[in-house]
Amino acid sequence: MKIAVTADVHLTTREDNPERFNALANILGSLADLEIHHLIIAGDLFNKDISNYSQFDKLCEQHDQVTVHLIPGNHDPSVEASRFTAGNVSAYNKPTRVDLDGTFLFVPYQLGTSMGEVIATEVENLEPGKWILVGHGDYCRGIRQAGSDEQGTYMPLFRSDIDRYKPRDVLLGHIHIHSTEGKVHYPGSPCGLDIGEVGRRNFLIYDTENSAISTHPVNTDVLFFQESFMIIPGDDELSRLKQEIEQRIGSWELDESELGRVRLRVRARGFCNDKQAIADLLKESFGDFAHYKDADPDVSELSVNNNNELGFIAKRVEEEIANMDWGSCPVEDRPDHDKIMDQALQVIYGGGGS
């Protein structure tokens, strides 16, 4: 059996955030062709302070061939079965084992506890290596929390819990960016919620027969992107920037139908010879795209310094940084190139610029 998995939709109302409803509708609408009859939403289906679920009920009723399985997240802890009228919605507000061609343990978010503590209460009914955990919280080993800007740790799942209770696979909500670490999978939000959640969005397809995980694209109304450029002064600063802009746009890998959905934030920082020319080039190069909150490219952190000797030193330092050998250090643990270069420029120029 194949099961669709998403999380962190953060529905409000169709009037306030239609793109979030449309993303969920796109998922539900695509499942018939994929011959998928179950959708798991691993918490935070609703944004905080939302208590009327009628619009979601109506959406589910339009796709009654799909059974939707919900657990509460930290933003919607009041989710429970009695709040829904659609006959194809199952909401679990207490730990619940469900047979979906295998045992799925749905663990709703609970403040002040860990997933391991909850699993311990069900362990007698869980065959090691044969059950799948569905929860909402932080995996505290191996996955950076780049997709969540919330402070603290939310209902943690520890690596020791996985070793002790031996789930076959783990499907979690809470982190808004799709990520995988071993058998732990975050589907991420099906629609970017703000400018910090960039790029195309997907939902997961979990195959109960062989534990295979694949992704399927969500046709979203908006696609957020942020592009930041580190400028090093020199006679070629404009040509270098133009080339980098072309590479960045190409890396989005969008087709023509998607370009109109882009919402973009652009900024440049560092040092340059001609700040106005940099600003004009950024504005012209990204002129075909809608900018987030209609803001022009931000050059407030870009300073002017025409010292050619310092510019030569800066380029040499950039080359050395780009060619650094990180050995066996995992890519995700390496320091950010632009952050290193930013610090190097501050040393080279000593804050000297205008």
What is the pLDDT averaged over residues 286-296?
95
**Given this model, what pLDDT does residue 188 score?**
97
Residue 202 belongs to domain spanning: 2-218
Q: How many domains does the chain have?
A: 2
Identify whether residues 284 and 179 lie together within a single domain.
no
Q: For residues 66 and 82, give the distance between their C-alpha atoms in angstroms, rounded to a whole number.
A: 19
Q: Are residues 209 and 148 in the same domain?
A: yes
Q: In this model, does residue 103 exceed pLDDT 90?
A: yes
Q: Is residue 313 part of a domain?
A: yes
- Beta pairing class for 262-272 and 290-291: parallel
User: Are residues 186 and 120 part of one domain?
Assistant: yes
pLDDT category at 351 given cuts 50, 70, 90 is: low
> Do residues 247 and 294 both lie within one domain?
yes
Nearest-angstrom CA–CA distance, 270 and 244: 15
Q: Which of 218, 246, 279 is the last residue of a domain?
A: 218
Verify that 325 and 195 share a domain, yes or no.
Answer: no
Same domain, 254 and 117: no
Task: Identify whether 182 is part of a domain.
Answer: yes
Assigned domain for 354 exists: no
Residue 332: pLDDT above 80?
no
Identify whether residues 172 and 275 lie together within a single domain.
no
Above pLDDT 90, what percent of the chain?
Answer: 80
- Mean pLDDT for all residues in the chain: 92
Q: Is residue 354 scored above 60 in pLDDT? A: no
Poorest-pLDDT segment among 86-90, 253-257, 310-314: 310-314
Is residue 118 situated within a structural domain? yes
186, 269: one domain: no
Per-residue pLDDT, averaged over 188-211, amounts to 96
Contacts of residue 351, defined as CB under 8 A and 6 or more positions apart, other chains included, come to none
CA–CA separation, 105 and 95 (whole Å): 7
Single out the residue of 310, 308, 309, 318 nearest to residue 348, CA to CA: 310
Does 58 map to a domain? yes
Domain final residue, candidates 175, 203, 218? 218
Q: Are residues 123 and 185 in the same domain?
A: yes
Q: Which tens digit of pLDDT belongs to each residue from 45-98? A: 999 988 889 999 999 999 999 999 999 999 999 999 999 999 999 999 999 999
Please check whether residues 45 and 80 belong to one and the same domain.
yes
Domain limit, last residue, from 218, 245, 280: 218
Q: Helices (DSSP H) in the chain: which residue ranges? A: 18-30, 54-61, 115-120, 159-165, 237-252, 256-259, 275-285, 308-322, 337-349
Query: Which pLDDT belongs to residue 289?
Result: 96
Q: Which residues contact 128 (CB under 8 A, 6 or more apart)?
A: 165, 166
C-alpha distance from residue 276 to each of 246, 268, 281, 353 (Å)? 20, 12, 9, 14
For residues 110 and 147, membership in a common domain is answered with yes
What pLDDT does residue 352 have? 57
* Alpha-carbon gap, residue 129 to 140, rounded angstroms: 20
Q: Are 109 and 73 in contact, with CB atoms under 8 Å apart? A: yes
**Model confidence at 323: pLDDT above 90:** no
> Does the pLDDT value for residue 43 go beyond 70?
yes
Q: What is the pLDDT of residues 142-167, one digit of tens each?
A: 443 444 445 578 999 999 999 999 99
Per-residue pLDDT, averaged over 98-106, amounts to: 97
Distance from C-alpha of 180 to C-alpha of 186, rounded to nearest angstrom: 6
Tell whether 31 and 122 lie within a shared domain: yes
> What was the pLDDT predicted at 96?
98
- What pLDDT, on a 0 to 100 scale, did the predictor assign at position 121? 96
The CATH number given to whatever domain includes residue 112 is 3.60.21.10
